[in-house]
Amino acid sequence: MNKAIQLNDRFGAATTGKLGMWLFLVMDALTFGTILIGGIGLRNAADVWPTAGLILNVPLTAFNTFLLICSSFTMVMALNGVQKGDRKSFIKYLALTIGGGVIFLGVQVYEYTHFILGSNELGVVLSQSGFSGTQFLPFTGMYGAVFYTTTSFHALHVLTGVIYLSVILTQAVKGQYGSDNYDRVEVAGLFWHFVDLIWILVFTLIYLL
């Protein structure tokens, strides 16, 4: 019998870790929902709201979105590997998942740096959008406030996920997981898939609409 599975009359086949993670994700989803709905409310109240793609780099972020979706696939493959007792495959795909998260954060840092340092070219785009200055900052109208609040909160989750999975990877290299002990991997996967799903909503509402 799988040691990671503990039967519960009320919840079925579930572990304390899974139930705890699902509870956390429900609360976190409410937090994200509040931020996203609040952003929509501010957008409706704002006098100036740029056309999609005028300030933000949609193609670059579309690539970043695709990368994060691919990392969900590699997370699935990592879990599949450990369930089958394929340690090499498990470690490889888990490392790829972490790598995808790191690249995602790197692209976001690049985007933030471009906006914060500013340029004359960015200043022209901002003026076309109804803003002044050569930098796009958190206090550049409601648009800037919504953009930075939403994307930075999500980035914090990605960073947390990268650290979380890195701990799992370190333990995996030491041989702590196998086909009869993979509950922690499954719980970490739930968090990572949640972060990926939320980003699709963020990308749609912040970058495309």
Q: Which range of residues forms the domain containing residue 198?
A: 7-208
Is residue 139 included in any domain, yes or no?
A: yes
| pTM, two decimal places | 0.90
150-202: pLDDT as tens digits = 999 999 999 999 999 999 999 999 999 999 999 999 999 999 999 999 999 99
Provide the token pair at 69.
């979706």
Exposed/middle/buried for residue 12 (C-beta within 10 Å: 0-12, 13-18, 19+)? exposed
What's the CA gap between 196 and 51, in Å, rounded? 25
Number of domains in the chain: 1
Closest to 164 (Cα-Cα) out of 141, 140, 189, 146: 189
148 alpha-carbon distance from chain centroid: 14
Is residue 1 included in any domain, yes or no?
A: no
- Which residue is listed with tokens 């790191």? 102
What pLDDT, on the 0 to 100 scale, is given for residue 5? 43
**pLDDT < 70 positions in the chain:** 1-14
CATH of the domain at 90: 1.20.120.80
Is residue 31 included in any domain, yes or no?
A: yes
What pLDDT, on the 0 to 100 scale, is given for residue 48? 85
